[in-house]
Amino acid sequence: MSFIKLTDVDLIYGSADPKEKSAQTLAVSSANLSIAHGEFLALVGPSGCGKSTLLKLVAGLARPSKGSVTVDGQEVTQPLKTVGMAFQNATLLPWRNIRDNVMLPLEIVEPYRSRQRQEREANRERAETLLAKVGLTGFADRMPWQLSGGMQQRAQLCRALIHEPSILLLDEPFAALDTFTREDLWSVLQELWSFRKCTIILVTHELREAVYLAQTVHVMSARPGRILKTSTIDIPRPRTLESTFQPDFVEIVHDLRHHISLGKQN
Amino acid sequence: MTSKSVQRLAPWIATVGFVILWWLCVVIFDIKNYILPTPLEAVEAMYKFRYPLFVHGLATLMTTLIGFVIAVGIGMVLGILVGSSRLLYSALYPLLVGFNSVPKAALVPVLVIWFGAGTVPAVITAFMLSFFPVVANVATAFATIEPELLEVMRSLGASRRDMTFKIGIPRSLPFFFASLKIAITLAFVGSVIAEIVAGNSGIGNVMLVASSNFNVPLVFAALIVVGIMGIGMYAIFDFFERRMTSWSIRGGSGMQQMGGG
Ligand SMILES: Nc1ncnc2c1ncn2[C@@H]1O[C@H](COP(=O)(O)OP(=O)(O)O)[C@@H](O)[C@H]1O
Ligand SMILES: [Mg+2]
């Protein structure tokens, strides 16, 4: 049974008026995607192919122009409250310290919202426990600008997870980081997934990242984005940096790369 | 001397330099004091007329502050509305810009016809001059919230109220304080102009009477009083800005704004 299901989804940006065809962008075309509960899925594809748009469709932040998006059997018609999101730029609130940034969702999402006064202490502890999980012990009282880019991304992951969402949507979260920091964060994310077991969709254009982290990798074509190829990654977990140098890993990356360049040709 | 103490002294040095330049101009070009007095003559006039300057200065300060407070209140609400709704933005912004381009001094006689001479036209002029920077700055802060942040908030099911109070207002504070510093000085300009044209009290009125008596040193004494009040109010808002939005200054010294020296 699939948890998230996209059926023949088109998404057109711009005017709905057919007379203004030139102002329209077909961002996603006939997308079919099926994601199981607790699956870790990666979407790779060239820039502008509609990856972020697919995430918005799943989150209910955009409505499909055609086709349907369902989560847990329910048609998605408004923003889901059971998702956590993280982006390339950390979007932490600069006037809040790291702890209060991480606790932001608890001030908005029910049932935490109505209990926030009574559970202030417990919530602070939750935030700090989660920060410790990503290696940010002792940084709760710092302001965002006092943290490096990699640390801000760790904090952003905590903010995305604090309200225990069942779906985590990650839009190129590590793209702005240097290679070493990025590879550190791969293992942080793998670790988080192994104990939270939420469903994760990771958008990336880094193939090694996709293969390292995901169970399933989908390759998208250039715009309008279609899914060209789906690979299941069977490399045992926990995967380490060492795994990325093994022949089977290299071969999968190679194969995916081949499909992307095929996609570019037509 | 550290560069910090140089920076602290710089406004005083600049002010002293300006006074010397003024004085030199008067002496070198042999300007008569009913055209341009020396700084000393202006200060003497300040001392001689200290009582009327104090009373009328206070009246101008009150007028200015009333107009300013109304401007801040209305400006903030309008800024939030215009900044958080694209429809209101496109509907109202051209109107606001157009309104801001109208020379307010030209409206003072009309205000006198409507409300009679006195404080009311001055309050309204102070308001009209100072509310636009507040609207523009608050609207900009609201309109430039990062789209990703909006997506995070929407995906959490945040209401418009949450967006305004948890993101918009805290984010707009640095913009807001910057606009207060501009607005207060403009409010002084507004009330003094109105007092010159139509007032029967206030510093502007002192200037009007003084210049019709060719008492130019008193005119300059009055100008100095207005300038000092402007600097004072600016410094107060600067102080609160540093207290309340230290996060936007980032602890370093590099981004600090200069005080009004
Ligand atoms: N809000 C929008 N309005 C109009 N066009 C958009 C909008 N967002 C994205 N697009 C267009 O849709 C296409 C896909 O965008 P996106 O999903 O952001 O791609 P990706 O994340 O893969 O880089 C791009 O061509 C982009 O220009
Ligand atoms: Mg994108």
Tell me the residue type at A254.
H
Chain A residues within an 8 Å CB radius of B249: none
| Assigned domain for B237 exists | yes
CATH of residue B102's domain is 1.10.3720.10
| Pocket, ligand 1, Cβ cutoff 6 A | A 13-14, 25, 27, 47-53, 223
Is position B126 within any domain?
yes
> Is residue B55 included in any domain, yes or no?
yes
- Please tell me which of the candidates B148, B157, B247 has its beta carbon nearest to residue A79: B157
Domain-embedded: residue B40? yes
- Could you tell me where the beta strands, DSSP code E, fall in A97-251? 167-171, 199-204, 216-220, 227-232
Contact flag B151-A107 (C-beta cutoff 8 Å): no
User: What's the mean pLDDT in A162-183?
Assistant: 92
Query: Which candidate, B46, B87, B31, B7, places its Cα nearest to that of B261?
Result: B7
Q: Which of B261, B93, B100, B258 lies closest to B190, judged by CA?
A: B100
Q: Which of A2-16, A91-105, A237-251, B4-18 has the highest mean pLDDT?
A: A91-105
Angle at B150 between CA A5 and CA B82, to 5 degrees: 135
> A22 or B152, which is more confident?
B152
Q: Evaluate whether residue B7 is within a structural domain.
A: no
In a domain, B1, yes or no: no
Coil, strand or helix at A135: coil
- Which one of A83, A89, A107 has the shortest CB-CB distance to B155? A83
Report the alpha-carbon angle A67-A164-B171, nearest 5: 85
Out of A44-48, A223-227, B170-174, B234-238, pick the least confident: A223-227
CA-closest candidate to residue A262, choices A221, A206, A210, A216: A221
Chain A: closest CA distance from residue B22 (Å): 45
Tell whether pTM > 0.90.
no
- Gap between the Cα atoms of A107 and A116, Å rounded: 7
In a domain, B255, yes or no: no
Can you tell me which residue has the tokens 């409010």?
B187
Subunit contact B248:A95, Cβ cutoff 8 A:
yes
Classify the complex by whether its ipTM is higher than 0.90, answering yes or no. no
Is B77 a domain residue? yes
**Residue A18 — very low, low, confident or very high, per pLDDT cuts 50/70/90?**
low
Residue A249 distance to chain B (closest CA, Å):
33
Q: What is the pLDDT of residue B223?
A: 94
Give the H/E segment covering residue A3: strand A2-13
Q: What is the mean pLDDT of chain B?
A: 89
End-to-end CA distance of chain B: 20
| Nearest C-alpha in B relative to A167 | B155
Atom of ligand 1 nearest to the CA of A203: 21
Encode pLDDT of B22-34 as tens digits. Answer: 999 999 999 888 8
Confidence of residue A46 (pLDDT cuts 50, 70, 90): confident
DSSP per-residue codes, B50-115: HHHHHHHHHHHHHHHHHHHHHHHHHHHHHHHHHHH-HHHHHHHHHHHHHHHHS-GGGGHHHHHHHH
Q: Which residues surround ligand 2, an ion (CB under 5 A)?
A: A 52
- Interval B180-210: pLDDT, tens: 999 999 999 999 999 998 878 899 999 999 9
> pLDDT per residue over B78-119, tens digit each?
999 999 888 999 999 899 889 889 888 889 999 999 998 888
A157 pLDDT exceeds 90?
yes
- pLDDT, residue B257, reads 33
- Judged against a pLDDT cut of 60, whether residue A11 lies above it is answered with yes
What is the domain range of residue B198? 31-245
Phi then psi dihedrals of residue B33, to 5 deg = -75, -10
Report the pLDDT value the prediction gives residue A229, as an integer from 0 to 100.
86
Domains held by chain B: number: 1
Model confidence at A221, in pLDDT bands (50, 70, 90)? confident
Please report residues of A whose CB lies closer than 8 A to that of B245: 95
User: In the numeric block, which tokens belong to residue B96?
Assistant: 């606001």
User: Is the Cβ pair B155, A85 closer than 8 Å?
Assistant: yes
Counting one residue from chain A and one from chain B, the pairs whose CB atoms sit within 8 A come to: 63
CB contact set of B79 (below 8 Å; sequence gap of 6+): B134, B135, B136, B137, B138, B139, B141, B142, B172
